[in-house]
A and B are shown apart, each in its own frame.
Chain A
Amino acid sequence: MTKWGMVIDLDKCTGCQACTTACAMENNTLPGENWQDVLFYHEGTYPTAKLTWLPRPCMQCENPSCVTVCPTRATYKDDEAGGIVFVDWNKCIGCKYCMIACPYGVRFYADEQPVVEPDVRDVFPGEGQLWAPPYQNPESDARRGIGIQPKGVVSKCTFCYHKVSQAPEGVADLDEDNPETKEYVPACVRTCPPKARYFGDLDNPDSEVNRLIADKRGVRLKDHTGNRPQVYYLGSGADVPAYDPPSDS
């Protein structure tokens, strides 16, 4: 059975945020409600300070803590869909327990104060939906949390399931450089200028993602939580520095 996975090479990532922008455009997320984000940190002090960054999509965990806490089964892991974790917007009651239980902070409740001003919900007011952006993903699927997010529910990255699900059966990798698969590649992977992202089948031993994880010692974020992400990181900087308040650094 297909198990979709993503590999992000931090030695190639330039932190350009093209992935963040592509994701927001593809999935009609509100500004700042970034299902896919690149987090910037600075470490050390002058003259040895350095700037570093970490791209962060939903990890689509093998053992997702968000799924078991959901009292309504609105959040579920769909093994038939490559192991992607979805939110069924028809079942979500907006209790936000999944947001508490996610160790990666990749769940969003759009019915909140705007992260970025001006509030685009007022600029593009929607009738019967939270807002009405000029472009809307035509392939909405509330049962999988795809489309314009309704009020009062939680949303998250779907690995662009509306694209990935159209891929030919049994394909090992979805590569934006391959004309046969490029249309099915998640938006963040397809748009990545330095090609720092790879997407493929973790259950297929011949996939490029498996080769990279093995050859370049792929690691998973916060592996101690036991969530076992389906997103792997390569290169230096994959260790997330512990929280350090500005006053102490």
Chain B
Amino acid sequence: MNNGNILKGPLGTGLLIVSAAAAIAAFGYAMLDLMAVGHRSFNTSSQMPWGQPIATYLYFALASSGLGMIAALPLVFGFKQFYPLAKRSIYLAFIILISGMAVLAMELGHVFRMLWVIPFNLQIQSAMFWMGVFYVADLLFLLWKFQKMEGREWDSRTSRQIGIASFLAVLLASGNLALIFGMMSMRPFWFDGLMPIYFYLTAVASGLAAVVFFTYLAYGFRRAAMPAAMRAMFEGPLPKLFAAVLGGTVLFIAVRAITGLYTNNPEIHLVWRDFLFASPVYQASLWLGIVLPFAIMLMAGLRGNPAVQVLVSMAVFAGLFAERYFFVVGGQVVPLFRGTWEWGLIEYTPSLTEWALTIMGSAMLFALYAAGERFLNLSAMPDDFLAANGSEATA
């Protein structure tokens, strides 16, 4: 019996097989290129060292953090109406982080060397050192918390403590990730003490997009198939939270854009004028992927509609991916010295190998998600919560 979850049946197996095949194919393509010609297969350069694979990692890592924060609503702060999302959010946070790390591993020059040189050299002054520490802690706490949920241990003292530790790890990991960019005064487009707040907001936005989309996917995009408590959440608090978070994201982007366009500093001003707003892709992602979804979610008559919620989640998914891409590349497009090698903005278009890594990470996420839906009970909720909110939610 699947209790409405269509991925517990052959569809789930099919999605698992197709996604795994896509992930393996993309990995194989990228790996062959990397083994044949190394990072020559990337379109990055010494003047543009971080390209789309880094943007993909950033997107996945922050989506994971956002999901961790969403799970903290019921698990740490006691907003019990979000219990129906908790377990799926924790699981998604874990697998999105794993997928992001897989992409990052393919981007680095020496990924296996990293495993010993970072712990043995303890460069605590580097934000990237702390990124490793905090995201590993995040990963372990997510796994531990999930294991407690699997054992139906939702509210024990240990479970609560792990939940709090997990939330702190999420805050530290994503906040520190923001500082990797935000502390670079030589890259004025990124240099911003409020970058962690921006990352927290957009992390929750992408996390919400992920959990909304994947929850609907599990139930065949039919809200009627969902457990009562989950339905109630999709009809009430969740779309309001989504609207609020998107509003915060729009506000933050607007503030950054206004200050960026106002300043005379060409390393900020020109990025906004000649790179971001000059790009139809950025314009589309901003207006259709962030602003329009926000406007739609503001409308009480629309935000509760299941089809609208799915479309908004997909639009935000794409919009925020583009936002990450333009953020990472935008910090590097103005050459540090104009002249000989670069007369205009540095040009960069991701290569097929770089796209293959993005596809690999995405397909890996879908495969791990399908496996989770197929073999685990991601819609589980605490017994006392179920008793109070309808008991059919056992899928």
Contacts and interface: CB of A to CB of B under 8 A. Distances in A.
Given A71-B129, A91-B113, A112-B40, A101 B186 contact: yes
Given A105-B47, A107-B46, A243-B334, A97 B186 contact: no
Nearest to B47: A105
B49 interface: yes
B46 A111 contact: no
Nearest to A241: B338
A111 B123 contact: no
Nearest to B273: A245
Contact of B39 (A68, A93, A107, A109): A109
B132 A71 contact: yes
- Chain A interface mostly helix, strand, loop or mixed? loop
A69 B339 contact: no
B186 A72 contact: no
A138 B128 CA distance: 35
B114 interface: yes
B42 A112 contact: yes
A247 B1 CA distance: 65
B266 A244 contact: yes
Interface string B329-357: 00110111111110111000000000000
A178 interface: no
Given A72-B118, A73-B123, A225-B185, A39 B109 contact: no
B54 to A, nearest CB: 9
A94 B42 CA distance: 14
A108 B46 contact: yes
A99 B46 contact: yes
A39 B340 contact: yes
B168 interface: no
Contact of A41 (B129, B332, B339): B339
A93 B117 contact: yes
A243 B343 contact: no
B156 interface: no
Nearest to A107: B46
Contacts of B334: 243
B148 interface: no
B39 A246 contact: no
Contact of A152 (B47, B109, B267, B341): B109
A77 B47 CA distance: 23
A207 to B, nearest CB: 28
Given A72-B123, A152-B110, A241-B338, A100 B46 contact: no
Contact of B127 (A38, A69, A102, A225): A69
A30 to B, nearest CB: 10
Interface string A91-125: 11111110111111101110111110001000000
Contacts of A96: 49-50, 109
Nearest to A114: B40
A240 interface: yes
A56 interface: yes
A201 interface: no
Contacts of A39: 337-341
B108 A94 contact: yes
B271 to A, nearest CB: 10
B193 interface: no
B186 A65 contact: yes
A69 B126 contact: yes
A195 interface: no
Contacts of B331: 100
A65 B43 CA distance: 26
A192 interface: no
Contact of A40 (B39, B108, B340): B340
A105 B335 contact: yes
B343 A113 contact: no
Contacts of A151: 38, 109
A37 interface: yes
B379 interface: no
A243 B267 contact: yes
A113 to B, nearest CB: 5
A243 B345 CA distance: 9
A244 B345 CA distance: 9
Given A71-B123, A103-B186, A243 B340 contact: no
A214 interface: no
Nearest to B185: A225
5 contacts: A37-B341, A72-B118, A92-B110, A100-B49, A105-B335
Which 8 residue pairs across A and B have the least CB separation, nearest first? A94-B109, A152-B109, A103-B186, A105-B336, A39-B339, A96-B49, A71-B128, A72-B117
Given A38-B340, A41-B339, A74-B117, 20 more contacts: A37-B340, A40-B340, A53-B339, A56-B337, A68-B123, A68-B126, A70-B126, A71-B126, A93-B113, A96-B109, A104-B336, A105-B46, A112-B42, A151-B109, A225-B185, A240-B337, A243-B267, A245-B270, A245-B274, A245-B345
